[in-house]
Structure 1
């Protein structure tokens, strides 16, 4: 058999196996052969000579110059030039010096005497729950109070009526506090915290009726509660207390705390709720109260009147 006859026979066999004239059996055969020889790592067939690469994507710009490799993806654009400018520091006023003073006198009252006074005041003072107002809504204070003084006392848009009928024991305590502190007082706000759920929120005793830089003597009787103070933030902090200094003072039975100077101007204080067993506590805050300034709304903070004409 000649070479020409062998070629004709091969073409005849191919036509018998695949009668379609345009079939891709040859291509599939090549792929199967490469898979048998090279496995899953088979590479594509080499590109025939003279065949050009695929045309670029129509969405890609023809004018983008290839740049060095970078972390970004897609075509790289020409880098933009930036000019450095020194940051401008805001103008800040130097705060005026404010002198505060806190005096802590543990054991101001002996334990036995403090026990007797606590029981008597708990049973005999005219305790009541005051209604306050915040954002136009009323709420009940989470503590009981009573007031003694020749003038009424207004705070949180609620007024406590004047009361000149001092309990005899309170007059005795006022005299003892005045002798120890060398200060005089004409009024008294009494607070009764019945348990750990009673509290008083952050505030300053800076109503105009208390005068400038008031002196307040705070006497604690009963269970120990934490008295917290925090510094007022400067104006540029917009009322944010996050980074302001805080002080925590446990006030035990018979302890006297004296707050003087700019304490009420520059600091706030609170007695926070405590969610574990706490017994009752009485807090007596001796202070001085004055008639409200002329044309001044009762209970308004003192600093609000400083800029009045």
Structure 2
């Protein structure tokens, strides 16, 4: 028993020993320096930065130009009347009549027109260079129609089915039409680029009635930018209208003045689509160069 107590005293004395700091060589123990600066940014010595001053507080400066957001594209799918803008040229309107033609009638009309109309590929000109339109067209009317520096000759031999459709469109729209531009989009690679139907021969504030047959294609519109944007379309309003089989779309008011429209390419499976665009053509003023975009003072009835 005495041996155990003796060993405990010896072990305890070893545990309580504190190393002596003498001149003799031995392990060095780091002693904390309570006077050293705690902020490393202001510390000097081994870091090599020397004395540093704290940075000034951040100051927010209002941007010289307001931040602009790109407007979200609107989608129009339901039958109805839509006022899409007011000014600067007046009120722009779209009238959408989904299911204007019953599906069974639209089916046989599409097949008949696809097989029997005199479709051809028109040559247009851009900056003096000729190119083939990425679609097929044909024209009906007592007067020729010029756009993109290319003229379609007058054609008074209306297909009987087109005369029936013109009467139905006139009754639905309350407008009269004397001409028709037919477009055949053979697949998703066929298209028409951004443009407005604002040739002088169409008169002021023209009404364009667009009847769709066949596969669905997206009809897109974008508003003309204000003069201060110098032709930049980044921040303009945009509208998307899926045109389904048998749908009638009317563009009215200032739509051709204040908006552009297109049918873009769609790089996936798309079947053929026929688009019939009824319009009224006026004789162009004597001495006026055909196809240029000026305005008549008379309004369309």
Counterpart Cα distance in 1 of 2:241 and 2:294: 26
Describe the SS at the equivalent of 1:170: helix
Aligned to 1:80: none
Q: Quick one: which of 128, 135, 160 aligns to 2:152?
A: 160
Pair 1:122 & 2:110 matched? no
Aligned to 2:181: 189
Give the alignment of 1:213-252 within 5 angstroms.
Answer: 213-252=205-244
Aligned to 1:107: 99
Counterpart Cα distance in 2 of 1:292 and 1:240: 31
Counterpart Cα distance in 2 of 1:301 and 1:178: 26
Work out whether residues 180 and 277 of structure 2, in 8 Å CA contact, stay in contact via their aligned partners in 1: yes
Counterpart Cα distance in 1 of 2:88 and 2:121: 39
Describe the SS at the equivalent of 2:249: strand
Work out whether residues 208 and 293 of structure 1, in 8 Å CA contact, stay in contact via their aligned partners in 2: no
Counterpart Cα distance in 2 of 1:264 and 1:97: 10
- State the structure with more CA Rg: 1
Counterpart Cα distance in 2 of 1:215 and 1:134: 26
Runs of at least 5 residues in structure 1 that lack an aligned partner in the other structure: 1-67, 72-86, 88-94
- Superposed structure 1 runs of 4+ greater than 4 Å apart: 68-71
Q: Quick one: which of 126, 129, 142 aligns to 1:134?
A: 126
Q: Quick one: which of 278, 291, 294 aligns to 1:299?
A: 291
Counterpart Cα distance in 2 of 1:158 and 1:172: 29
Deviation at 1:248, TM superposition (A): 0.4
Deviation at 1:230, TM superposition (A): 0.3
Pair 1:211 & 2:203 matched? yes
- Decide which structure has greater helix share: 1
Counterpart Cα distance in 2 of 1:302 and 1:106: 33
Aligned to 1:64: none
Counterpart Cα distance in 1 of 2:88 and 2:223: 15
Cα-to-partner distance string for 1:28-72 (whole Å, 9 max, x where unaligned): xxxxxxxxxxxxxxxxxxxxxxxxxxxxxxxxxxxxxxxx9698x
Counterpart Cα distance in 1 of 2:120 and 2:294: 27
Deviation at 1:296, TM superposition (A): 1.6
Give the alignment of 1:1-309 within 5 angstroms.
Answer: 96=88, 98-302=90-294
Aligned to 2:5: none
Counterpart Cα distance in 1 of 2:117 and 2:165: 14
